[in-house]
Amino acid sequence: MAGDRRPYARDNDQRDSVKRRSEARQQSASGAEKGATRRAKFVSNEESVENKLKLSTIGLVKLEEFQRIKGELEEERQRAAANTLARSAAKDSDPEAQPGKPTKKQRTKNKQPRAVLSFDDDSGDDNVVANKPRKNPDVDTSFLPDAEREAGESQQREALRQQWLRDQEVLKQESIEITYSYWDGTGHRKQATCQKGWTIAQFLNQCRSQVPELRSCSVDNLVYIKEDVIIPHHYTFYDFIVNKARGKSGPLFNFDVHDDVRLENDIRVEKDDSHAGKVCERAWYERNKHIFPANRWEAFDPEKTYGSYTIRDSKQGASKRTW
């Protein structure tokens, strides 16, 4: 049995050695092919230049011609190497740049516009971008600040103010007829012509020239009473006319006088008719201010509202009525 096993062992050893030798040959062949490929990469340019030089210098060629052709081929090889280097550097800097694949910049440029939310019909083109909203020319913008408009309005207001002042000056120059009564306990009717812009002091000075009893008195010693109100000397007739001022028993701005507004008219209805003003000496007023009619007189107060006039009814036990 031992003799039978030995031939089988030798056969196995032979098969193993043959297998190992075949694998070694295959490995050496593949290594040789890889080395040849690497060498071909590095010497391809050299061989191409040499081949071109051989093809360009067939036969007898002068040394200068040979050197010129060789220099041109070297320059061409260097240019090709430089182009290859530039392409490899561009690939390294932009890894996405692959042949046939668009770059990032190109993809951004070719990117479709984002869809815009719209409630219109879907039949329209989805790629149409909504128009930018425009201003409505019919909207009222008068409330917005506008320097040019404000300057124009300011000029217009100033022009109107100047026109109003001119109109008031014309009004002050108008003449009025004033009926008054020199009062020394009894009335003596007189009339004086003056301007609306005159002060009470100017009016009293003219009264002095009309009443002989007052010529010896100065204006400061005279008193003017209108509608039971003592008028200060610095006021003008224009002030009462414009402001429609009134006294205790009637308006101060009417100077036309009637006999008595309460004799033929309803006493419950006040009229714009005016009573004649009184001019008297201050000394007489001081002596008689405790008796009628001087006891009703009081100094004019522009802040006071005198309201409606009052009368006494003797039949009702001297009770006071007000309308």
* pLDDT of the chain, 323 residues: tens digit per residue: 444 555 556 666 777 777 787 788 777 766 666 655 555 554 555 556 677 777 776 767 777 888 888 888 888 888 888 888 777 777 666 555 455 555 655 666 565 556 555 555 555 555 555 677 777 888 887 778 888 888 888 999 999 999 999 999 998 888 888 888 888 877 788 888 888 888 999 999 988 888 888 888 888 989 998 888 888 999 988 888 888 888 777 777 766 555 444 444 454 444 445 678 889 989 899 998 888 888 888 888 888 877 655 555 444 444 444 43
User: What's the CA gap between 303 and 195, in Å, rounded?
Assistant: 26
Burial, 203: exposed, middle or buried (Cβ in 10 Å; 0-12, 13-18, 19+)? buried
Q: State how far Cα 235 lies from the chain centre.
A: 47
* Beta strand ranges found along 92-230 (DSSP E): 175-183, 187-195, 222-226, 229-230
The predicted model scores a pTM of 0.46
DSSP code for 251: B
Question: How many residues are present in the chain?
Answer: 323
Q: Parse the chain into domains and list their residue ranges.
A: 170-322
The tally of CA atoms less than 13 A away on the side-chain side of residue 18 is: 6
The CA-atom distances, in angstroms, between 162 and each of 157, 158, 208 are: 9, 6, 37
Return the CATH number of 170-322, one of 3.10.20.90, 3.40.50.300, 3.40.630.30, 3.40.630.10. Answer: 3.10.20.90
User: What's the CA gap between 22 and 161, in Å, rounded?
Assistant: 124
Pair of tokens at residue 117: 């939310």
